[in-house]
Each structure stands twice: as structure tokens, then as C-alpha cells.
Structure 1
């Protein structure tokens, strides 16, 4: 049957846990969304962009969680990651709206998660 597809339900994100993130196109989307001044899109277009950013935020959050969990308890980066992850869950729980503001909030969330991910992949700071 051509054109048919199946929707896969994977609430724990187990299927893509080992796949690398496709970062460049999502960063470009975040940059474009945050540069908006007064876009004139249909509410359904805003919702689709917000859904794309939401899905990617969840994938980045899973990577942040995995990296933070692997850190020693004495590494403060793990505690900071937990704060960001709690904030992420709170913000992702908010319902999507067909507005530019909603999309921009999701874009800021993705940017914040990438910042935290980058900090987790840097070498641990030297202790004195």
C-alpha cells in the first residue's frame, strides 16, 4: 500500500536513545524562529513548528539526562542539568498554542538544552 505509514508510540524514547541528534537543521530552525518580528502564519503552521521543536527538545533532554546521570555526584554540572531538566518538563507540559510566542518559547527551550548539553560534553573543570 503506497502512501501508508504507521505511527510509532515510544513514550520512553527508547528507539532513538542511541541515535545522534540531527542538530544543524534544528539550530537553524531555532535561529529563524527567534529572529521573527511579526510573522503572519496560520495557527496550524505555528503548531507544526512547535511540535517539531517539542519533539527535538525531548530528544535533547534525553541526551542531557543520560550525560548528567553518568557524572560523578561531586560534579556540579549534573545538579545544574537536573535544574534545567525540571524546567524543561514544566515548560513542555504547557499546552501548545498556534502562536508565534509559543513557538519562540519552544525555540528558547531547545537553545537552553543545547547549551546544557554542550557544558556536559566539555571536560570537567579542574578543582583546586
Structure 2
């Protein structure tokens, strides 16, 4: 297949849902970015890191949506997930800038999304 490619049609995201997130390298990137004091990177480097974090934030948000949708309506974790997802959508819709501040904001978003994802994957709290 010289130069040929196949287009995958997966409107429900079932294939992506079966793939685990590559969490460890992204958490390491988040930790490194948030530890920056006065980085001196080229604008294109900031842009590439921001793009990487943005793509991963979208993937984590997709997992959160899927897990929250599977919870019973009476489970408060779903409502909290919706709040986090609305905020994430707003932050992800903001244009990227080639600055350390923009990259650090995307890193904070990834961290917040993982916190919410972890709470969705914990067993439901016992009813009082």
C-alpha cells in the first residue's frame, strides 16, 4: 500500500474507549511543567507541549464523559464530573499561546481531569 491510507469511521468512539490512557508520561510532563520557575524555551516548544497536553486533556475528558454517563442519575459524582467537564470545555476552547503560562494552565487542567477521573473509578460511597 504505497501512499494509501484507510479512514476509520468510529462515530461512537468505541475503539478509543477500549484503549487505556498513556497516563504515566503525561503525568510526568505535567509535573515537570508545573515545576518550571523561569523556563527559556522557544515559542514553538511551548506550542508543542501545549498541543500535547491539550490532546491528552481531551482524551481524559472523553473517558470522564463515558464513565459519568454510565453512573446512575442519583450518583453525585456524575454531577461533579459535568461541572469539571464544562470548565474543561471552556478552557480547551481558549486559543493556545506559545507561553509558559499557557502550557502550565493546560498542565493544571490535565491534573484536574485526572483527579476527577480517579474519583469516578473509585467505588461509590456507601449510602448513609
Number of aligned residue pairs = 126
1:87 has 2:87 as partner: yes
Q: Which has the higher helix share?
A: 2
Unaligned 5+ segments in structure 1 are none
Q: What SS does the aligned partner of 1:38 have?
A: coil
TM-score by length of 2: 0.90
Change (3 A) 1:34 1:118: same
**1:78 match:** 78
TM-score, normalising length from structure 1?
0.90
Taking the TM superposition and a 5 Å limit, the aligned residue runs for 1:36-115 are 36-115=36-115
Measure the CA separation in 1 of the matches of 2:71 and 2:21.
21
RMSD: 2.3
Residue aligned with 1:98, SS: coil
SS of the aligned residue for 1:28 comes to helix
SS at 2:51's partner residue? Answer: helix
Q: Secondary structure at the match of 1:104?
A: helix
Shift of 1:16: 2.1
Matched, 1:120 2:86: no
